[in-house]
Structure 1
Amino acid sequence: MVTAVLVGHVLLRDFAVIPRELGEEAYQARNREPQHIPERHSMPGPVPTQCDVPPNSRFDCAPEAAITQEQCEARGCCYIPARPGPRGPAMGQPWCFFPPSYPSYRLENLTATETGYTATLTRTTPTFFPKDILTLRLEVLVETDSRLHFTIKDPANRRYEVPLETPRVRGRATAPLYSVEFSEEPFGVVVYRKLDGRVLLNTTVAPLFFADQFLQLSTTLPSPYLVGLAEHLSPLTLNASWTKVTLWNRDMAPQLPGSLWESAPPQLWSILGAAGPWGGLVLVPGPTAAVPTDVVLQPSPALSWRATGGVLDVYVFLGPEPKSVVQQYLAVVGHPVMPPYWALGFHLCRWGYSSTAITRQVVENMTRAHFPLDVQWNDLDYMDARRDFTFNKDSFGDFPAMVRELHQGGRRYVMIVVSAPHLGTLLFNLLGVPLVGADICGFLGNTSEELCVRWTQLGAFYPFMRNHNDLNSLPQEPYRFSDSAQQAMRKAFAWRYALLPYLYTLFHRAHVRGETVARPLFLEFPEDPHTWTVDRQLLWGEALLVTPVLESGKTEVTGYFPTGTWYDLQTVPVEALGSLPPPPPTPFKPAIHSEGQWVTLPAPLDTINLHLRAGYILPLQGPGLTTTESRKQPLGLVVALSMSGEARGELFWDDGESMDVLEHGAYTLVLFRAQNNTVVNELVHIASEGASLPLRKVMVLGVATAPQQVLSNGVPVSNFTYSPDTQILGVPVSLLVGEQFLISWS
């Protein structure tokens, strides 16, 4: 073995779970009638003798189809039918598999460079695929202390590569977090984590293939807990038991386990352990958005990456925390763009708004029913003969006038010009695409009232909130349903719009720091193994835990609460500061003091459970019928004290739509801190945008002792409220966010 020290880290861990019966494609045992495939040219050699390979560690020697024993052995591979179990043969184990001695490439001329290493890979024995590329170039880049990057390419011919601008580093990192070994023959790369010697990547387990239209790279994985490989209708946690994931996108209805609308850069995370660091792996094997790519997961655990073109381009990140893995990944592909404030409001669309008159009526109906609406959409109906960038001069003859009216009313307009997004919220946040959400109430088929209410409650906490449905389905605008259903939806809308200052701040952090907006629980609590398989809850940032009802007929829901104190946000008596009708009062519920446990919560049809994590401060704002209206409302703060009496939060504010506000300094950033019976603000950056925001109410949760005196900037507050039963202190104030303040109680 040739040994070298590299700098980098691994991205082999990430996940959250959806039921495993959803959307994984399990390989069937290859016991069906084999296909007789004509061999294309000479095979690697005679029948091997080294076939004593554990079943779960066998790498498929017939990736294109089932073949006969004779054909398998002619390839120089092992042929052992899977042993039958109580229900027949074991699922997924290949009958034809590579022996350890199967010919691969040989490493030659390994050379140290300023940025890492280069080498030549040569193959002397052709494979069973046509047009083998017999000479390859390996380049290993020691880019940062937490990032390794290597590529395998054809040095003689330029092949397609994903046109993604990535950082170019000069020199190699000086404090490597891992070491790398190169196997000469057969060629392979082994990446170790220096901290504990754990193997993060080992490509010596199966031969490397690099033909004109077939590339394959196999590796072991440090853990069977995997997430990534978007976008598919499947659990967030992938099943590593003989599962094939295809990256080949189609504009089609979601069906298990089909691929959907888009392929993100194919990131794969693996959970390394409760106490150990995390890492991740990103493979970009050529034109993943243009040609089919398969990833085969097997329970050893290991994977095989197969592509029909391009190059092999691999990144390894080390973390060590899951948040760090996300940030290291986004440092390569880029941070998400900051969305305009109005994009976080409610969007309404339907294939079937077939004229400007109908579209105007929908907007009027939403306003009359007191439902917020920020963005009105039209689907294909507006087009002339379904051509993008045109509009129908008959049914949309006054199209420009309608758009002007929407703008004058503080709303925006979007016309569909490409396929609409149907995205996995948690997964795509990990991939650096935070503005995501499904079509609320569903796109195809008729919804039910209960489904639409529950979906609206959940959709209020999608980063992107849009109701959209199909031409042939019944209309599902919120005002179409019963009074009780509408009231339940308004309650969800009110919380969404009240929390927009917090949500906008999370998007700012994603844009600047590479953080996530909606996130799975394991991202905040990686040391708790219970969070690794939680995918029926989500967090907004660090502070807000959302536990929706996802099944029909349920009036309670069970959620997991990591260690800490969790306050029921909906029982906090924050008066309505905006123009929307206040939601009906919710009976007080005591805080949940969890040691890491499952809790069953009441969840009547008008309720989605929202819990605020102790130690955090949320900025709220009076909701309105548009974000234009809500941005004019006063702010409130909800302070959730930890057991030590501390909490923190922040607010980012700008004009909500200008570009380059950070470069021009046209923003306000304020930190909030609570400790020693005080709440203060720290003015990080103040500009005209946000400096004059009024603060009218501060609610402090977890005040154990009744205050005798409350001061706001040294002035006594006589009309404060306190309940010894709820331990909530309410302080009316008249302050500005952009001026320093100190609120205290004693």
Structure 2
Amino acid sequence: MLLFIVWSVSAQQCDQPLKAARFDCHPEPSVTSEKCLARKCCWQPQMRSMIQLFENSSSNSANINVPSCYYPRDFPTYQVKTNEPTAFGQRLTIIKQQPTYMPNEILSLTVDLIYETAQRFRLRIYDSTKKRFEVPLSVPVIQTKANVTDYDVSISRKPFAILVKRKSTGITLFDSSVSPLIYADQFIRFSSYLSSPFLYGLGEHRQPLLINVTNEWRKLTFWTRDTPPVRNNNLYGVHAFHINLEMRKNTPNNFHGQFFLNSNAMDIDLQPLPAITYTTVGGIIDLYLFTGPTAQDVIQQYWDVIGKPTMPPYWSLGFHLCRYAYNSIDNLRTVIKRMHDAQFPYDVQWTDIDAMSSHLDFTYDKTTFNGLPDLVRALQSEGKHYVNIIDPGIS
């Protein structure tokens, strides 16, 4: 007999008719009713169509579906113990009375609400007693809060949640009440409503410029790797930053941005509520909110935190020629001569890891690419430049 619905808590707490408002209590694979109920979460299996199964198996898609295991309304979470004003804003202590399902949960956390500028708000949540890893990025340190801001911040004490709204329109920019905060040593997970299902950013993945989750659940993994681009799969870079379009009748279509400053492996889930969920395996919650209101303003405010791009050298704007598997210096010379004979103007010649000795950075293979330094000097004598690829994994 197949049992479609089993409750581990009261049916009233699990009664969530809007499937888009269900937040995954078991994001790991191979969920079962036993595993779900052991977490004191709600279990309602979701049947997937053969079309969905085929699409996901054939395209390596990162699409996800309505969770079968989701949080009940009264799932245990944090509550505010203390709330003190500071020069930069507010500092809270939040506590959880008892651990839930993740090993090594941190039951006492410090929350800093930092009103950095009129258009920039920072939320930091970290262990109250033990120092945790933080990204060693030089960011602005604000000692005194902005007196006038474009945003209002309010706090829910029990359960703990942070709500940020745009003053001019009342539109919600961040609201963590949508799902419980999970904060363990190697598992941090928090969620927020989105202002609309339309986003830009969350790179680096092969995906359309506009991310539209109006009718779609999507998981994006953030872990740098050297791989051919496959739709929605993670690639070379990590930018846990997005711009969200704000849409409401009779209000301007403003933009705001979020930047999650964390360099650990992470997933970001999007669902058509619309909502966003961040999951990472370490560090702290260090979240910036930029109020724009234009997309260009958001980027400028983002740059004010991470730093502005370096002006590229003029020659780097020219035509570059690169490929993997030239395989030998003779083949490379043939390509360069062919470009020269065709009078094709190009500025930069590259080589890939096949030119290295055993794929080791800062080396070249003195057998298959014997004479590479002389070839580079010859290119430079013609006003060209040479770049040897450098992979970040150093052995």
* Cα offset, 1:190, TM superposition: 0.3
Q: Which residue of 2 aligns with 1:427?
A: none
The answer as to 2:15 corresponding to 1:52 is yes
Distance of 2:383 and 2:47 partners within structure 1: 67
The answer as to 2:287 corresponding to 1:287 is no
Q: Could you tell me which of 131, 136, 143 is aligned with 2:116?
A: 143
CA deviations over 1:284-320 (Å, ceiling 9, x no partner): 3x333xx3x1111111101111111111110000101
Are the counterparts in 1 of residues 4 and 44 from structure 2 also a CA contact under 8 Å? no
Q: Could you tell me which of 229, 232, 235 is aligned with 1:254?
A: 229
CA deviations over 1:205-224 (Å, ceiling 9, x no partner): 11100011111111111100
The answer as to 2:236 corresponding to 1:300 is no
* Cα offset, 1:234, TM superposition: 2.0
Q: Could you tell me which of 157, 160, 175 is aligned with 1:184?
A: 157
Q: Could you tell me which of 321, 332, 346 is aligned with 1:373?
A: 346
Q: Which residue of 2 aligns with 1:125?
A: 98
Secondary structure class of the residue paired with 1:260: strand
Q: Which residue of 2 aligns with 1:64?
A: 28
* Cα offset, 1:407, TM superposition: 1.4
Q: Could you tell me which of 357, 360, 365 is aligned with 1:384?
A: 357
The answer as to 2:77 corresponding to 1:104 is yes
Secondary structure class of the residue paired with 2:109: strand
Distance of 2:122 and 2:137 partners within structure 1: 14
Letter in 2 for 1:64: E
Secondary structure class of the residue paired with 1:49: helix
Secondary structure class of the residue paired with 1:367: helix
* Cα offset, 1:74, TM superposition: 4.3
Q: Which residue of 2 aligns with 1:269?
A: 243
Q: Which residue of 1 aligns with 2:284?
A: 311
CA deviations over 1:594-630 (Å, ceiling 9, x no partner): xxxxxxxxxxxxxxxxxxxxxxxxxxxxxxxxxxxxx
Query: How do residues 389-468 of structure 1 correspond to structure 2 at under 5 angstroms?
Result: 389-418=362-391
Distance of 2:352 and 2:171 partners within structure 1: 52
Q: Which residue of 2 aligns with 1:229?
A: 202
CA deviations over 1:420-468 (Å, ceiling 9, x no partner): 9xxxxxxxxxxxxxxxxxxxxxxxxxxxxxxxxxxxxxxxxxxxxxxxx
Distance of 1:197 and 1:303 partners within structure 2: 20
Q: Which residue of 2 aligns with 1:13?
A: none
Closer, same or farther: CA 321–32 of 1 in aligned 2, 3 Å: farther
Letter in 2 for 1:363: I
Secondary structure class of the residue paired with 1:230: strand
Distance of 1:320 and 1:129 partners within structure 2: 38
Q: Could you tell me which of 63, 67, 84 is aligned with 1:94?
A: 67
Select between 353-362 and 224-233 the one with higher mean Cα deviation: 353-362
Distance of 2:331 and 2:49 partners within structure 1: 61
> Matched residue pairs, number?
374
* Cα offset, 1:370, TM superposition: 1.9
Letter in 1 for 2:245: I
* Cα offset, 1:174, TM superposition: 1.9
- Where structure 2 has 5 or more consecutive residues not aligned to the other structure, the ranges are 54-63
Distance of 1:321 and 1:313 partners within structure 2: 23
Are the counterparts in 2 of residues 251 and 419 from structure 1 also a CA contact under 8 Å? no
Letter in 2 for 1:257: N
Letter in 2 for 1:226: L
Are the counterparts in 2 of residues 47 and 76 from structure 1 also a CA contact under 8 Å? no
Closer, same or farther: CA 33–401 of 1 in aligned 2, 3 Å: farther
Q: Which residue of 1 aligns with 2:59?
A: none
CA deviations over 1:78-111 (Å, ceiling 9, x no partner): 233448999899x822222212222100112111
CA deviations over 1:493-532 (Å, ceiling 9, x no partner): xxxxxxxxxxxxxxxxxxxxxxxxxxxxxxxxxxxxxxxx
Query: How do residues 622-633 of structure 1 correspond to structure 2 at under 5 angstroms?
Result: none
Are the counterparts in 2 of residues 145 and 175 from structure 1 also a CA contact under 8 Å? yes
Distance of 1:186 and 1:152 partners within structure 2: 15
% same residue = 38
Closer, same or farther: CA 67–346 of 1 in aligned 2, 3 Å: closer
Closer, same or farther: CA 66–377 of 1 in aligned 2, 3 Å: closer
Distance of 1:387 and 1:84 partners within structure 2: 45
Closer, same or farther: CA 373–297 of 1 in aligned 2, 3 Å: same
Q: Which residue of 1 aligns with 2:185?
A: 212
Closer, same or farther: CA 404–106 of 1 in aligned 2, 3 Å: same
Letter in 1 for 2:21: S
Secondary structure class of the residue paired with 1:263: strand
Distance of 2:368 and 2:38 partners within structure 1: 67
Q: RMSD in angstroms over aligned alpha carbons?
A: 2.8
* Cα offset, 1:139, TM superposition: 0.8
Are the counterparts in 1 of residues 90 and 113 from structure 2 also a CA contact under 8 Å? yes
Are the counterparts in 1 of residues 243 and 295 from structure 2 also a CA contact under 8 Å? no
Distance of 1:113 and 1:71 partners within structure 2: 43
Q: Taking structure 2 as the reference length, what is the TM-score of the superposition?
A: 0.87
- Where structure 1 has 5 or more consecutive residues not aligned to the other structure, the ranges are 1-30, 35-44, 421-746
Letter in 1 for 2:15: D
Secondary structure class of the residue paired with 2:13: coil
Secondary structure class of the residue paired with 1:197: coil
CA radius of gyration, larger in = 1
Letter in 2 for 1:283: F
Select between 300-309 and 251-260 the one with higher mean Cα deviation: 251-260
Q: Which residue of 1 aligns with 2:128?
A: 155
Letter in 1 for 2:83: L
